[in-house]
């Protein structure tokens, strides 16, 4: 306790930049450790935030978290923009009805399950004397918790998708659902809020007035996002330099966030619309734009999730709040799984979506917490604080447990590693995976006439020279032998050993492919001999053309498999 108080006191005097640096550094370390444990790295970020945040050492205190609120909005804007880039019109034309059925089913079933379970538990708590509230108040409370439970946080879910480079029908469905889910949650909350107001006797406006606010947030966000997207497209048509593309795109995201805050519309939805507008109206150029943002985003994501963990507080709660929080978690998870399965079955989705989509929708965060604050205003005193406490506590649980379930669903669906590039694939390969084992080898005592004949019947431009034990002695290239013949008279007694060149570098079968390719680029080599590390025996040849061909074929195979 003394150490916590001392660190909290020291943190008050730390510059904000130092706190941010510590958060990014240790968050990255934590993410890497959890990645080694085969747990999604986002869990590591949040755990580090918990450790250095308000729950434990308080290096990042409440004031720092509040000061970083603008940054959090910017990070959510980046996430929303990248999600929007995945929302292609051709996908919605093909699967739009299916997505809509699944969206309505998973949200409404979750709402119904949480509402009913919360009401039953509240009445039981009243019966045991742990809660003293009327039937109408407990019904209003249950309805509000049900509406809040329908929201799904995109950030942690999408981070897992990007980390494991997934692609396929389940991935597409997840992205579509998390992009649209919060909008439906806002509408549902507005509808339920008017009913709760009547039940608690606190309605200060009519039903339409209550519903108008979420409608304004949604449609206002669409207008702001689309208008900014059109402007950005006009700008991108006239610039080619990557630095300027990145600058204008980031500026557009910031403008979106600023306008959304000023106009009081949904900032994440506006950023999604911006990304979707760019992806669909400027399809070719937008790929490079999204690629630049993805390279820029990692430290932003690390800091964002560390701050998410730092914001969470683990405190003692009354028994009835713990029981209601447990009911909320069980009901929400059950509703998401059941609703997603039912919607996917009715929508005739593929088996992977029916079986595993529900597991990928557990995460909740900013929207749910924000709605809980609005809901608490209808229940003054202990009950209002309990709503915030229930949603915050359960947010902590699902933020930790949600990403592993997303990974589980995507792994069972077989979609991990399908959205991979040649560079990504190269990092997982060794030389032995792509080297040419069947290559033309020249014994060192081969006469020049035999050597020239071998050249005439082969398409290769690179020939390893070996001794009797197949140990690599040198190399012969077409260009090299031309230079040799240009400076000396050919003779029948010349052997391969006489005209070969020394080996500039070589690799072993277990050499990482990235290291071998780096050597080839460094020495401007098209081919690299591969030898056994123990006896120097030639094992094969690594060709730059063969590497590109095999990597390209594997990437294409995975993408076709995802389709």
The tokens of 563 are what? 């389709």
Q: Which of 68-77, 94-103, 324-333 has the lowest mean pLDDT?
A: 68-77
Domains of the chain, earliest start first: 47-419 (1.20.1530.20), 426-562 (3.10.580.10)
Phi and psi at residue 122, to the nearest 5°: -60, -45
Percent of the chain beyond pLDDT 70? 86
Angle of CA points 385, 387, 388, to nearest 5°: 65
In which order are the strands placed within the sheet that holds 472-477? 442-443, 462-466, 472-477
Instruction: Please give the Cα distance from 151 to 186 (Å, whole number).
Output: 8
* pLDDT, tens digit, 9 for 90 and up, residues 260-315: 889 988 787 888 889 989 999 988 888 889 888 888 888 988 888 888 778 766 56
* pLDDT, tens digit, 9 for 90 and up, residues 423-440: 777 777 888 888 887 777
DSSP type of residue 433: G
Angle of CA points 136, 106, 301, to nearest 5°: 105
**CA dihedral sign of residues 353, 358, 362, 364:** positive
pLDDT of amino acid 2? 47
Instruction: Please give the Cα distance from 498 to 485 (Å, whole number).
Output: 11
* pLDDT, tens digit, 9 for 90 and up, residues 551-560: 777 777 776 6
* pLDDT, tens digit, 9 for 90 and up, residues 305-353: 888 778 766 565 678 888 888 999 999 999 999 999 999 999 999 999 9
SS3 content of the chain, % helix, strand, coil (to 5): 70, 5, 25
pLDDT of amino acid 343? 94
| SS3 call for 550 | helix
Instruction: Please give the Cα distance from 56 to 314 (Å, whole number).
Output: 9
Model confidence at 227: pLDDT above 90: yes
* pLDDT, tens digit, 9 for 90 and up, residues 539-552: 888 888 877 888 77
pLDDT of amino acid 5? 53
Q: Name the residue with higher pLDDT: 1 or 537.
A: 537
Instruction: Please give the Cα distance from 154 to 172 (Å, whole number).
Output: 13
Instruction: Please give the Cα distance from 234 to 222 (Å, whole number).
Output: 19
Residue whose pair of structure tokens reads 């932003």 in the numeric block? 300
């Amino acid at each position: 306790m003394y150490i916590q108080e001392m660190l909290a006191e020291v943190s008050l005097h730390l510059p904000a930049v130092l706190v941010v640096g510590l958060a990014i550094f240790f968050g990255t370390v934590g993410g890497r450790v959890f990645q080694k444990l085969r747990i999604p790295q986002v869990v590591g970020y949040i755990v580090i935030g918990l450790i250095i945040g308000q729950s434990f050492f308080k290096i990042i205190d409440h004031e720092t978290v509040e000061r970083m609120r603008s940054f959090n909005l910017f990070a959510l804007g980046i996430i929303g923009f990248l999600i929007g880039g995945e929302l292609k019109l051709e996908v919605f034309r093909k699967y739009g009805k299916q997505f809509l059925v699944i969206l309505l089913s998973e949200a409404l079933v979750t709402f119904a399950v949480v509402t009913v379970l919360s009401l039953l538990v509240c009445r039981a708590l009243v019966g045991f004397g742990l809660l003293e509230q009327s039937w109408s108040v407990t019904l209003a409370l249950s309805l509000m918790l049900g509406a809040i439970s329908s929201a799904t946080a995109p950030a942690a879910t999408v981070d897992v998708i990007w980390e494991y480079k997934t692609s396929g029908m389940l991935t597409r469905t997840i992205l579509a659902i998390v992009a649209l889910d919060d909008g439906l949650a806002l509408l549902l909350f507005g509808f339920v809020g008017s009913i709760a107001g009547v039940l608690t006797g606190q309605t200060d406006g009519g039903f339409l007035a209550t519903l108008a606010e979420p409608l304004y947030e949604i449609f206002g966000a669409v207008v702001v996002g689309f208008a900014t997207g059109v402007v950005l497209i006009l700008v991108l048509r006239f610039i080619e330099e990557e630095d300027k593309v990145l600058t204008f795109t980031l500026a557009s995201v910031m403008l979106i966030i600023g306008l959304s805050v000023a106009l009081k519309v949904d900032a994440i939805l506006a950023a999604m619309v911006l990304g979707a507008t760019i992806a669909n109206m400027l399809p070719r150029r937008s790929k490079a734009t999204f690629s630049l943002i993805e390279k820029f985003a990692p430290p932003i994501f690390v800091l964002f999730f560390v701050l998410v963990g730092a914001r969470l507080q683990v405190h003692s709660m009354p028994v009835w709040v713990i029981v209601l929080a447990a009911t909320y978690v069980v009901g929400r998870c059950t509703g998401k799984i059941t609703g997603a399965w039912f919607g996917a079955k009715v929508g005739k989705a593929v088996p992977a979506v029916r079986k595993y989509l529900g597991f990928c929708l557990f995460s909740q965060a900013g929207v749910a917490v924000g709605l809980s604050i609005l809901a608490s205003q209808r229940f003054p005193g202990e009950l209002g604080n309990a709503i915030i406490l229930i949603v915050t506590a359960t947010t902590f649980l699902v933020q930790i447990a949600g990403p592993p379930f997303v990974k589980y669903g995507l792994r069972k669906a077989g979609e991990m590693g399908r959205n991979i590039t040649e560079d990504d694939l190269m990092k997982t390969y060794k030389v032995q995976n792509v080297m040419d084992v069947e290559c033309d080898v020249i014994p060192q005592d081969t006469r020049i006439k035999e050597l020239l004949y071998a050249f005439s019947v082969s398409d290769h431009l690179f020939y390893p020279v070996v001794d009797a034990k197949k140990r690599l002695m040198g190399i012969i290239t077409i260009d090299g032998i031309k230079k040799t013949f240009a400076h000396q008279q050919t003779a029948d007694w010349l052997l391969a050993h006489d005209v070969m060149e020394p080996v500039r570098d070589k690799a072993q079968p277990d050499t990482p492919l990235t290291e071998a390719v780096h050597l080839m680029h460094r020495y401007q080599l098209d081919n690299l001999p591969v030898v056994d590390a123990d006896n120097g025996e030639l094992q094969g040849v690594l060709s730059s053309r063969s590497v590109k061909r095999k990597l390209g074929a594997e990437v294409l195979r995975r993408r076709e498999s995802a389709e």
